C-alpha cells in the first residue's frame, strides 16, 4: 500500500513538473489593419518621410482664448493635492502658460531632433531617430528603441538622449554609444489613432517591430516604462531573436500569488526572496495599498468609458492640464500630494510640463490615448496570453523608489527568467527618463554591458 502511494506521489509530481515547467513560448506575430475603411489591395507605402512640428498664430490664439475662459472651483483650505489638482496653484500655471510660455520656442526645441513618419498597418506612425554626433573609430552605434507611456510622450526622452548618443560629452564613457528611436504610440501625439477597436499593446509591439525592421535593424535593444514597458515586453515575447536585450523601469508582473505573498511578507520575507530594501518599499502594505487605490481612479474610467471624459479634456486646455499634471505630481512622489503646488517644480520645469501638455492639446489626442486603457484592460486583468507568458530575452530592471508599485527582484525574475541586472535606484519615480535621465541612462548602459559580456 505504502509503495503504491509512494509511486503515485512520484508519478503525480512528475506529471506536475512536466506540465508546469517553463516553456519558451513566443507571441504569434499576427497582422492588423487600423486605418479607416477596408484595407486596400494595393501594397502599403513603406516610405519614411521627414516630418516637422509646426504651429500657427490661429492655434496659439485659440489656446489663449480657451485658457482665459476657465472656470476654476476654489480649493479647500489646506487640501494640498489630496483632492486632485489644487486650483490655487493652477492659477500660477495658467498665468505662466498665457504670459510666459513660448510655444513657438518649444516647437523649435522639439525639432532639435529629426522627426519622421511612415505608414504601418494603415496608420501614420511618428518617431524621432537620433544618431550619435560622433563615433569612436571602427565602432557602430547600438540601436535602442525607447517607448513612452501615458500621460507622457516621446518628449520624455529628450534629456536622456544625449547621455546615450553622445555619452563622452556628458561625463560618461564611450564604451556604449546608441542611436535612439522613439516612436509615438498610435493615438498619441503625432501618431495616427486607430479607426478600429482592438489596438492594444500587442498590436503596438508588432507595429514598432515592423518599424525597426523597416529602419534596417535586425537586432536591437528595447527600453520602456509605463505602457512602454508592456509594449517592449510584448515585442520581446513576439520577436526574441531580434530583441538583443530588454530594459524596463516598470514591470507588469502581477500574478495570482502576488498579494498573498506580499501580505505574508513581513513574517516570511526571506522565504519569498524579499530583501530589506523590498520590505522598506512594500511595507506597511496598508499604506502602500491605500496609496495605490487613491492613484488608480483614472484607470477605471479610461478602461471603461474613455470617450466620455475625453470630451471634456479635449475641449478645455486647463482641464487637460489639471488631469495630466496631477499625475506628474503624485506619480513622481506620493508625498507631493501634501503640497499646495504638488511639488511639480521640484523635479520639472513648467516649460517641460506644458510642452508635454501641448503635444496632447494641439493634436487632439487625449481621447485616443486614453482608449489604450480600454483596449488593454477592458476585458479584465490577466485575460490575454502575453500576461501569463514569460520573457526569454536578457532583461534589465530599474527599481525607482517612488514608482506606483514596487516589484521585488524575485517577482521580476519570475516573469523575466533571464534577468541580468536589477538595480535599486537611489531616487526617482514613475517618469524616470523625464525626471532622472542620467540615472536611467547609467543603468541602461550597465545592463547593455552585461549583455555584451555574455
Summarised one tens digit per residue, pLDDT across range 135-180 is 988 889 999 999 999 999 999 999 999 999 999 999 999 999 999 9
pLDDT band at 8 (very low <50, low <70, confident <90, very high): very low
The residues with which 145 forms a beta bridge, in sequence order, are: 181, 222
Within 13 Å and on the Cβ side, how many CA atoms surround 41? 0
Of 176, 373, 406, 443, which is the active-site residue? 373
Using CA atoms, how far apart are residues 231 and 252, in angstroms rounded to an integer? 10
**How many CB atoms within 10 Å of residue 167?**
20
The residues with which 243 forms a beta bridge, in sequence order, are: 220
What is the structure's pLDDT at 19?
38
Distances (CA, A) of 318 to 300, 332, 370: 22, 21, 18
3-class secondary structure, 419 = strand
Is 274 annotated as catalytic? no
Using CA atoms, how far apart are residues 414 and 435, in angstroms rounded to an integer? 28
Q: What is the CATH number of domain 50-453?
A: 3.40.50.1820
pLDDT, tens digit (0-9, with 9 covering 90-100), for 264-307: 666 667 777 889 999 899 888 888 888 888 889 999 999 999 99
Is 430 annotated as catalytic? yes
Q: Is the pLDDT of residue 395 over 70?
A: yes
Instruction: Indicate the DSSP class of residue 99.
Output: H
Q: Give me the residue spans of the domains in the chain.
A: 50-453
Is 373 annotated as catalytic? yes
Using CA atoms, how far apart are residues 322 and 90, in angstroms rounded to an integer? 8
Burial group, residue 8, by CB count within 10 angstroms (0-12, 13-18, 19+): exposed
For 81-200, where are the alpha helices, taking DSSP H only? 87-99, 103-110, 161-165
pLDDT, tens digit (0-9, with 9 covering 90-100), for 183-209: 999 999 999 999 999 999 999 999 999
Using CA atoms, how far apart are residues 118 and 44, in angstroms rounded to an integer? 10
Using CA atoms, how far apart are residues 205 and 234, in angstroms rounded to an integer? 6
Q: Which residues contact 440 (CB under 8 A, 6 or more apart)?
A: 160, 249, 398, 428, 432, 433
Of 148, 386, 406, 430, which is the active-site residue? 430
Of 226, 278, 352, 443, which is the active-site residue? 226
Amino acid at each position: 500500500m505504502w509503495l503504491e502511494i509512494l509511486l503515485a506521489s512520484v508519478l503525480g509530481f512528475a506529471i506536475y513538473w512536466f506540465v508546469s515547467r517553463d516553456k519558451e513560448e513566443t507571441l504569434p506575430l499576427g497582422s492588423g489593419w487600423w486605418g479607416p475603411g477596408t484595407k486596400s489591395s494595393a501594397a502599403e507605402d513603406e516610405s519614411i518621410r521627414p516630418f516637422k512640428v509646426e504651429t500657427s498664430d490661429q492655434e496659439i490664439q485659440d489656446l489663449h482664448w480657451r485658457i482665459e475662459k476657465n472656470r476654476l472651483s476654489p480649493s479647500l483650505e489646506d487640501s494640498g493635492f489630496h483632492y486632485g489638482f489644487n486650483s490655487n496653484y493652477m492659477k500660477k500655471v495658467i498665468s505662466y502658460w498665457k504670459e510666459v510660455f513660448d510655444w513657438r520656442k518649444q516647437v523649435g526645441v522639439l525639432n532639435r531632433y529629426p522627426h519622421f513618419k511612415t505608414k504601418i498597418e494603415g496608420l501614420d506612425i511618428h518617431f524621432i531617430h537620433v544618431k550619435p554626433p560622433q563615433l569612436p573609430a571602427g565602432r557602430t552605434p547600438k540601436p535602442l528603441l525607447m517607448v513612452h507611456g501615458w500621460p507622457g510622450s516621446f518628449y520624455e526622452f529628450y534629456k536622456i538622449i544625449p547621455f546615450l548618443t553622445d555619452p563622452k560629452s556628458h561625463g560618461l564613457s564611450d564604451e556604449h554609444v546608441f542611436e535612439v528611436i522613439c516612436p509615438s504610440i498610435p493615438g498619441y501625439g503625432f501618431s495616427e489613432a486607430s479607426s478600429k477597436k482592438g489596438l492594444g499593446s500587442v498590436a503596438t509591439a508588432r507595429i514598432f517591430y515592423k518599424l525597426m525592421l523597416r529602419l534596417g535593424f535586425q537586432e536591437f535593444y528595447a527600453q520602456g516604462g509605463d505602457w512602454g514597458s508592456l509594449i517592449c515586453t510584448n515585442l520581446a515575447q513576439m520577436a526574441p531573436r531580434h530583441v538583443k536585450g530588454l530594459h524596463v523601469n516598470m514591470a507588469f508582473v502581477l500574478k495570482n500569488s502576488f498579494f498573498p505573498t506580499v501580505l505574508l511578507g513581513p513574517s516570511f520575507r526571506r522565504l519569498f526572496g524579499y530583501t530589506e530594501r523590498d520590505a522598506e518599499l512594500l511595507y506597511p502594505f496598508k499604506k502602500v495599498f491605500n496609496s495605490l487605490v487613491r492613484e488608480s481612479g483614472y484607470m477605471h474610467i479610461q478602461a471603461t468609458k474613455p470617450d466620455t471624459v475625453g470630451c471634456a479634456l479635449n475641449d478645455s486646455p486647463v482641464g487637460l492640464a489639471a488631469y495630466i499634471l496631477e499625475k506628474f505630481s503624485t506619480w513622481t512622489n506620493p508625498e507631493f500630494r501634501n503640497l499646495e503646488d504638488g511639488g511639480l517644480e521640484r523635479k520639472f520645469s513648467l516649460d517641460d510640463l506644458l510642452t508635454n501638455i501641448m503635444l496632447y492639446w494641439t493634436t487632439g489626442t487625449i481621447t485616443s490615448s486614453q482608449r489604450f486603457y480600454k483596449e488593454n484592460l477592458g476585458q479584465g486583468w490577466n485575460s490575454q496570453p502575453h500576461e501569463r507568458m514569460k520573457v526569454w530575452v536578457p532583461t534589465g530592471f530599474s527599481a525607482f523608489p517612488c514608482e506606483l508599485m514596487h516589484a521585488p527582484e524575485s517577482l521580476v525574475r519570475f516573469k523575466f527568467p533571464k534577468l541580468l541586472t536589477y538595480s535599486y535606484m537611489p531616487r526617482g519615480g514613475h517618469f524616470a527618463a523625464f525626471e532622472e535621465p542620467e540615472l536611467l541612462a547609467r543603468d541602461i548602459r550597465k545592463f547593455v554591458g552585461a549583455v555584451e559580456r555574455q
